[in-house]
Amino acid sequence: MVAELLMAVVRGTWHWVDRARRVVWNLVFLALVVAGVAAWLSSGPPALQDKTVLVLDLAGPLVEQFSGSSRDAVLSQLQDGDRQQVRLRDVLGALDAAAQDARIASVLLLLEDLSGGGLQAQREVAAALERFKASGKPVVAWGTGYDQRQYYLAAHANEVYLHPMGSLMIQGYGRLRNYYRDALERVGVSANVVRVGKYKNAAEPYFASGPSKETEESDAALYDALWSLYTQGVEKARHLPAGALASAIAGLPGSLQAVGGDVAQWSVRAKLVDGLKTRDEMRKWLIERGAEDTQHKSFRQVRFQDYLAQVTAQRGTDAVAVVVAEGEIGDGVAPSGRIGGKSTSDLVRKAREDERVKAIVLRVNSPGGSALGSELIRRELELTRAAGKPVVVSMGDVAASGGYWISLAADEVWADPATITGSIGVFGMLPTAERLMDKVSVHAAGAGTTWLTHAYDPRKPLDPRFVALVEASIGRVYADFIAKAAEARKTTPAKIDAVAQGRVWTGAQAQERGLIDRTGSWDDAVRAASTRAKLGDRPRIQWMEREPGRLDRLLGWFKASVLQAFQTDVTSMDTLAWGLMQGGPAAATTRDLHQDLIWLQGVLQQSQPFAAVVHCLCNPQP
């Protein structure tokens, strides 16, 4: 017995010794790898030469802030790269720096991997391209195909080229939503939605079989306004007469049949592109116009991420702090790419307490979410103004519902004409499945101390008294929303209510109705904050972001160096490919279904009996 016990102890001890040995050797190996890579990369990127082409090879959606951690980004790069993202401020920074850099001769746009971003973000990049062109340097776009988002940016190039077998698709704005009422009824589930605002249609797919008249009215007005901004932007950039784009689309399929179904030739005839070139022809053309890189047998170039890393950081003491509020709003701590009532409030407070920060710009790109989380953020901004520091809001693609709520404590609110905002309304949803329980012959029963104990249990019918409580609470949140908006906009609750009711507006429409102060760019909002703080036209920008953990910092370093070093050189342009089915109707339908069910699951998993939600679920699809 004793011998067996001793043997067990020895075996256990050896097991842990062996594990410790392996861990130590793995750490030593990792340290050697890191040291080797660091030595390899210590020389840094090669110095830029004259006549260099800045290559804007944008892959992924345009975002205000990277979502997830460095760990997620590294894993994405190591796998299939589907989660790549393009940070808007990086693109704008690279273009504005290149406009003043004598070594940069031109810009090449490669856009076929750009997969997302709203019209507002596209307009920001287009404006930066126009600023670059104003410096006297050309912009050239090339691709094997352009979708609607990609073409908006390509249209702002001096010259647009397409592969001879390429495609171009511009279809306009709209959205087909999935409606689940009949499916839920069939399985015995009731949505039980309580809402305030006749246009507050975020939960409509769960209690209706199709859009209401109010939804159709609101959506049509929104999409028409966005389409008008899109076509005007393209026609102005391409020097086309007003209505040319609509006429080209209306002429299909006849005009396409006239060129034998050749989309590339049709694009040239419609004056949407300037010519057709293969990859090798494009490479040769760029060499002839610029300078040859004999080592890589291509034109002299630098990727915009590499170029941005070489741009000298701003110096100075006093700064305008920027807090990015992107994604859905929750109550507590949220990761990058989402908004947490606590975590985002902490960033605002940190900026307020920093003596070097003289003003705050809140960059909002959010469809809303938790009313409580929204109020936590709004209150911190209100305290910032009370402390004597100006607050300016800059709205991105979407700043609606809760995204509008957090914008109410500002000295100025700026939006792009294409921003989607408003949606001042509230709803709550109380799904129940008592009929489903009956169908499967499962019955829930038990005791409770008060009528509230089981007042809302998805397995039981709703207690009318509990419904009354929810209605009163939702009504109160809406009244608070209206009151805060009226105070912020210096008007009456009645006037706000008249343009509220859950309806969404474009930035231009919102300005006409007094919901925002000015329309303009991100840069305009920063200048406004700087002027209020008396910092001049070009203040130092201090981005307020959560401190990454040690692992994230290590992986972030790897992402910025090791993975970049192993990337395929863009000089060959061999990695460019056009996925005809990417983002098509089938993919969009599957994505919408997945997102709707995930959202419904989130509602069902709320820890509280119900929650007041200020969310617009507004996402027009091009």
pLDDT of 586 higher than 90: no
Please choose, from the candidates 542, 506, 505, the residue with its C-alpha nearest in 3D space to the C-alpha of residue 526: 542
Q: What is the pLDDT of residue 128?
A: 98
CATH code, domain carrying 301? 3.90.226.10
Question: Is 140 a domain residue?
Answer: yes
pLDDT of 242 higher than 90: yes
The secondary structure of 568-622 as a DSSP string is PPTTS-TT----TTTT-HHHHHHHHHHHHHHHHHHHHT-SSS---EEE-----B-
Question: Is 601 a domain residue?
Answer: no
* pTM, rounded to two decimals: 0.84
Q: Give the 3-state secondary structure of residue 107.
A: strand
The predicted-structure confidence for 46-64, as pLDDT tens digits, reads as follows: 678 999 999 999 999 999 9
Is 572 considered catalytic here? no
- Inter-residue contact 148 to 192 (CB < 8 Å): no
Q: What is the pLDDT of residue 558?
A: 45
Q: What is the pLDDT of residue 347?
A: 98
Averaged over 319-333, what is the pLDDT?
Answer: 95
pLDDT of 42 higher than 80: no
| Per annotation, catalytic residue among 345, 401, 407, 530 | 401
Please choose, from the candidates 116, 115, 139, the residue with its C-alpha nearest in 3D space to the C-alpha of residue 127: 139
Q: Mean pLDDT across the chain, nearest whole number? A: 85
The pLDDT confidence band at residue 577, using thresholds 50, 70 and 90, is very low
Number of domains in the chain: 1
Is 534 considered catalytic here? no
Question: Is 124 a domain residue?
Answer: yes
Question: Is 561 a domain residue?
Answer: no
| Per annotation, catalytic residue among 106, 115, 190, 200 | 200
- Inter-residue contact 72 to 85 (CB < 8 Å): no
Query: Which carries the bigger pLDDT value, residue 46 or residue 607?
Result: 46
The pLDDT confidence band at residue 570, using thresholds 50, 70 and 90, is very low
The predicted-structure confidence for 478-495, as pLDDT tens digits, reads as follows: 999 999 999 999 999 999
Q: How far apart are CA 388 and CA 462, in angstroms?
A: 49
> Which of the listed ranges 79-88, 445-454, 542-551, 601-610 does the model predict with the highest average pLDDT?
445-454
Averaged over 180-208, what is the pLDDT?
Answer: 93
Q: How far apart are CA 432 and CA 193, in angstroms?
A: 11
Q: What are φ and ψ of residue 452, in 5° steps?
A: -75, -20
Q: What is the pLDDT of residue 48?
A: 85
Question: Is 587 a domain residue?
Answer: no
- The CA-atom distances, in angstroms, between 563 and each of 32, 76, 81, 158, 216 are 17, 11, 11, 33, 47
Question: Is 5 a domain residue?
Answer: no
pLDDT of 567 higher than 50: no
Averaged over 65-88, what is the pLDDT?
Answer: 64
Q: What is the pLDDT of residue 571?
A: 33
List the domain range (segments joined by +) for residue 250: 52-169+238-310
Q: What is the pLDDT of residue 313?
A: 62
Q: What is the pLDDT of residue 300?
A: 94
Please choose, from the candidates 421, 428, 429, the residue with its C-alpha nearest in 3D space to the C-alpha of residue 502: 421
The predicted-structure confidence for 400-421, as pLDDT tens digits, reads as follows: 999 999 999 999 999 999 999 9
The predicted-structure confidence for 86-117, as pLDDT tens digits, reads as follows: 999 999 999 999 999 999 999 999 999 999 88
Q: What is the pLDDT of residue 565?
A: 38
